[in-house]
Structure 1
């Protein structure tokens, strides 16, 4: 079975630098659904804080998560891919409350690899200095959460194909 379309909204999650903005659009193209960049949902105040090297608080994140959740809700049954760090279970719960069918693709990788990739990014507001706070906040997917973990080693095409294969495994229900 080749997975080419999905009625689910897929949230590509992970710490900064894992490639959400790169893999998200590739995955959306591969699945034949629209992509939304999670960073575009941030209020300007959040971007200013992160640019200044200040980690966001939960209170900073709620409006951002609500905006992503509203987009996911609108795409329910139609499918879509959106990026969001979704680092804590409570953040993912909030997204699921807005759009109950969301599925998560958790991009994971070695901290050194991720830091190296972040240091080579150009024009992004998130400094590498915030990577420690991202890892400290991260709560990986739990067994009862619909989603898959995908290693980010390799090139974007390889990572995307691993994500598609992992989602395909989820798409084979035991009905």
Structure 2
């Protein structure tokens, strides 16, 4: 059974450790590093979002003029690409977290829908059983009535034969 109490402190410590290792803290990595079951991804996602919101924005010094920009681009093209990659990775990580959150919500909804479906099927089957029981009771009552009529007919027939035999 998944743990139901994942604290912000656990997620923060794990996210800080991942960041210190140069890895982007995403839900899957936090779950793995902290040894948490996948069923806790929703709460981890919430705590990780709080942790991200508390992080200071990454400031990159901007060149002062277009000449400075061109010079900076020529001097360090790899650095610009890495910065762009880091921003893209961060965007994708946030998108992935959102997708994981949506998957968790859909899994919960699916479980609830299955429970409702099973409950509806059980209710329908109970109604069928009740109808069957009423039908059986009605048939038994009819059978008793037919047997009583038969017995009365036999008795009347027996009584009708007695006066003839007496003659």
What is the TM-score when the length of structure 1 is the normalising length?
A: 0.21
Higher normalized helix content (fraction of residues)? 2
